[in-house]
Amino acid sequence: MRAVRVSEPGGSEVLEVVDTDAPVPGPGEVLVEVAAAGVNFIDTYQREGIYPMETPYVAGLEGAGRVTALGADVDGVAVGDRIAWANTLGSYAEQVAVPWAKAVPVPEGVADDVAVGAALQGMTAHFLVNDCFPLHGGETILLHAAAGGVGLLLTQLAVAKGARVIATTSTPEKAELARGAGAAEVIDYTAVDDLAAAVRDLTGGAGVDAAFDSVGRSTFDASLASVRPRGTLVLYGAASGPVEPFDPQRLNAAGSLYLTRPKLFDYIATTDELRTRAAAVYGDVAAGRLDVRIGHRYDLADARTAHDDLQGRRTTGKVLLVP
């Protein structure tokens, strides 16, 4: 089978398509024919060594497909069932062995590509607005990268909860996508000299209740300066690079702010939590309450281009590799 292997940390050039043996499902695992694999920023962090990895490894954590074989001690799933997953290394491949405890059933009415788009990114948006900074209605939030996969989903979920979303994007096309998802205002961050001042202008000088920042180094200071006293900065990514170490006294000086650096996997730590969260997201998708935009599809052989486009901010919505 074909798979995308990383032999050493580095840029996208270390992604190599190889022919390798198909995996054999071990106890508790199911073998899946991959219909689509998700491309996420965490894949680039792992590839670059920001998140240290043992090499060589097959890249990718997320995908969806049809079960073709069962390992020992697997109950509750059958050959032919469709499943999705968000935390199984080796997903950039034609076949992958997935621990059944880390997988979720894909309901009828949810296509494979949409199931991938709603998996890691959908559950991320879900935990951010339900658990990390719970929205109850009436809040104003700042959201960076609003036209990305998480951004479009988070905007829809936040608006459905009654929040006002101030979005940032970099192009008119991305701004239109953010507005289509429900953003009340959109700031082109390339066109303003002082992003925090622009945000405060839109909030009567008060600042936002929470800032959701997946960009990291290049937006962190502006995010911090945009939050009202006793508000929260949710730093959930580092698309522009990791934030430099900083003095926590800045949180005091800015008005007793809260800062959190969450990741999805701590919010789907058990099989029950994973499947409950996935069911909530897929339920919204199936009911038409949550639109999953599949922005880009690449062949497995074009994984380097997919990574380059994602990191170069040339993508919108969900990015997929199709074996």
pLDDT tens-digit map of 213-232: 999 999 999 999 999 999 99
> Cβ contacts of residue 312 below 8 Å, gap of 6+?
none
Give the domain 2-118+292-322 fold: Quinone Oxidoreductase; Chain A, domain 1 (3.90.180)
- pLDDT range class, residue 31, cuts 50, 70, 90: very high
Contact call for residues 316 and 166 (beta carbons, < 8 A) = no
Matching fold, domains 2-118+292-322 and 121-264? no
Lookup: tokens for 319 = 């990015």
Global pTM value: 0.94
- Other CB atoms within 10 A of residue 296 CB: 18
CB of 169 within 8 A of CB of 188? yes
Q: Give the C-alpha separation, 72 to 218, whole Å.
A: 48
Instruction: Answer yes or no: are the C-beta atoms of 139 and 160 closer than 8 Å.
Output: no
Residue 287 has φ and ψ, to the nearest 5°, of: -85, -5
Confidence of residue 159 (pLDDT cuts 50, 70, 90): very high
170, burial (CB in 10 Å: exposed 0-12, middle 13-18, buried 19+): middle
Q: pLDDT category, 110, cuts 50, 70, 90? A: very high
How many percent of the chain have pLDDT more than 70?
A: 100
Q: How many residues are listed for the chain in this entry?
A: 323
**What one-letter code names the amino acid at 303?**
A
pLDDT tens digit string along 248-302?
A: 999 999 999 999 999 999 999 999 999 999 999 999 999 999 999 999 999 999 9
Parse the chain into domains and list their residue ranges.
Answer: 2-118+292-322, 121-264
- Strand-pair partners of 93: 3
pLDDT tier for residue 130 given thresholds of 50, 70 and 90: very high
The structure tokens 């199936």 sit at 286
Structure-block tokens of residue 242: 């990791």
**CATH number belonging to the domain at 121-264, selected among 1.10.10.10, 3.40.50.720, 1.10.3210.10, 3.90.1010.10:** 3.40.50.720
Mean pLDDT for 107-127 is 97
CA dist 98 and 169 (Å) reads 36
**CA gap 35, 42 in Å, rounded:** 20
DSSP secondary structure letters along 148-171 = BHHHHHHHHHHHHTT-EEEEEESS
Beta bridge partners of 30: 70, 98
pLDDT in tens, 53-72: 999 999 999 999 999 999 99
